[in-house]
Amino acid sequence: MSDSELSTSDGEAASDAEITDELPQELNVSEYVGPYLFPNNSRRRIPAIIYLSAAVVCTVVWAVASDSPLVNGGFLGVAVALAVFAVYGFICGKELKIDESDALVIAIGAVGFPVGHASAQMGWRGWFSRPTWRILLYSNEPQPDQRGLVFVDGITGQVIDQLVQPNPEDWADLGID
pLDDT recorded at residue 6: 55
User: Which band of pLDDT confidence, cut at 50, 70 and 90, is reported for residue 177?
Assistant: low
pLDDT recorded at residue 86: 96
* DSSP summary character for residue 39: P
**Distance spanning both ends of the chain, measured CA to CA:** 42
Average pLDDT, the chain: 84
pLDDT recorded at residue 73: 86
How many other C-beta atoms can be found within 10 angstroms of the C-beta atom of residue 132? 20
pTM for the complete prediction?
A: 0.67
Question: Domain coordinates of the chain in residue numbers?
Answer: 41-92, 100-174
Rounded-to-integer distance, Cα 42 and Cα 3, Å: 58
How many other C-beta atoms can be found within 10 angstroms of the C-beta atom of residue 163? 10
Pick the CATH number of 100-174 from 3.10.450.40, 3.40.50.1970, 2.60.40.10, 1.10.3720.10: 3.10.450.40
